[in-house]
Amino acid sequence: MTSIPKLFGTSGIRGKYQEQITLELAINVARALAKYIGGVGKKVVIGRDTRTTGKIIENVMSAALMECGCDVLKLGMVPTPVVGYATLKKGADAGIMITASHNPSEYNGIKLWNNDGLAYKQHQEAEIEKIVYNKDFEVVGWDEVGCEYDISSFKDKYVDDIIKVSEINPNKPLKVVIDAASGAGSYLSANAMRKAGMDVITLNSQPDGFFPGRNPEPNAENLQTLMKTVKAIGADIGIAHDGDADRMIAVDEKGRLSDFDKLLTIMAKEFGGLVITTVDASACLDTQMSMIDGEVKRTPVGDVHVAESIVENNATFGGEPSGTWLHPDFCMCPDGLLSALRIVHCVQKNGPLSQQLDAIESYPTLRSKITCPNDKKDKIMEIVTDKFQDEFDKIKEVLTIDGVRLQFEDNSWVLIRPSGTEPYIRITAEAMTQQKLDEIIDIATKFLEKQL
């Protein structure tokens, strides 16, 4: 039996333009989506980020959808969360976001959304892959082709709605610096923050698919200018987005980049109850949630898994340490703009961000990797699943949903997980003391080396 080539990764289809992401692929994915949702008379929302190749991919996908009888609702250049929200609010049957998120300019990608604002699940992606592979498309005659509608003004409703749900106080203006990376959040993030009454200064907020100011990955290396600016002008907080603005990372008033896990913890405490995160998130979240009688549940890495678990468990909030947060009281699409408004509200309500961050425990953490050929990963991980826990005692929980994660009775933990893109097996560990961390890493490394 011939295996169907896999197109989707952890966050949609992604690759270099005209290498992995070709116009032919974009057309076929659109045709497959049309077939999957039922073709004639169905409605599909489509948006794109600022990449130079976004418009041409949007054009061919729109044409392919109409060729199959679907009506296309075009948002134009917008952040990913606008696509998810528009798909929900416009009663569309599916949504498409053309983006490569934090990847460099030469990349692009395609991510699909359900009519409830939730990203396509793995079984849905597998169906799309099957239709593409078999070229099982259904084009229509001249009398059934779809229509195209401009719904770019919908972004105004989106801005009004995220301001309202954020509960940000317009009568307590803070000085906010926003670095949008010249990505899809360039206009809208600052617009939302100003409309909410904040005093806003912008960096890299002119849309430009070459990302001239900084790489769209919001990490310490790329956010040096934001960090220095916040400190130099005495701002209350800095906000950074990735290329499609579904992520948000904050800089405190001292110019320090926030610890991603601590930032997630601050927001999780605002919601309380059950929160969802991934297997690689810090134990500081567990510690802080236990203090307010909250609960933490973990999923495989990827915002789709977090979203599915939020729905299944009726959770209050969820997110990854990368800055990808989901707000189920609004929409099930990761939303960097709403996250920004809500973290500003936290500063209004609870005081300086630096104090909130420093009040959360810091545990020694280490990430390492061991070279492992891709064709050996499955066999090695079978051994890890079967035998790794035998190397330790005082284990509180074993998770095998994404690699193998051992959590110990003192909340220390270790995760062994194969890389999805490189020939490595990764080891991540966090412990209450440096000595315990060194012991865990030493045992894990020797165990893996022995198997290899």
Active site residues: 101
Annotated binding site for Mg(2+): 101, 242, 244, 246
Inter-CA distances, 114 with 77, 78, 91, 120, 302, Å: 20, 18, 10, 6, 17
| β-pair type (237-240, 175-179) | parallel
Inter-CA distances, 354 with 137, 230, 336, 379, 388, Å: 54, 13, 20, 45, 39
Q: Where are the alpha helices (DSSP H) in 235-351?
A: 260-271, 284-291, 303-313, 336-350
**At residue 410, what are phi and psi to the nearest 5 degrees?**
-95, 10
Q: What is residue 55's three-state secondary structure?
A: helix
What's the CA gap between 282 and 263, in Å, rounded? 11
Are the CB atoms for 103 and 15 separated by under 8 Å? no
**Among candidate residues 340, 345, 342, the one with its CA nearest the CA of residue 179:** 340
What's the CA gap between 141 and 441, in Å, rounded? 63
What's the CA gap between 134 and 32, in Å, rounded? 10
Amino acid at 132: V
Q: What is residue 402's three-state secondary structure?
A: coil
Neighbours of 35 (CB within 10 A): 19
Angle in degrees, 0-180, between the axes of helices 260-271 and 284-291, rounded to the nearest 10: 20
**Among candidate residues 309, 448, 279, 297, the one with its CA nearest the CA of residue 379:** 448
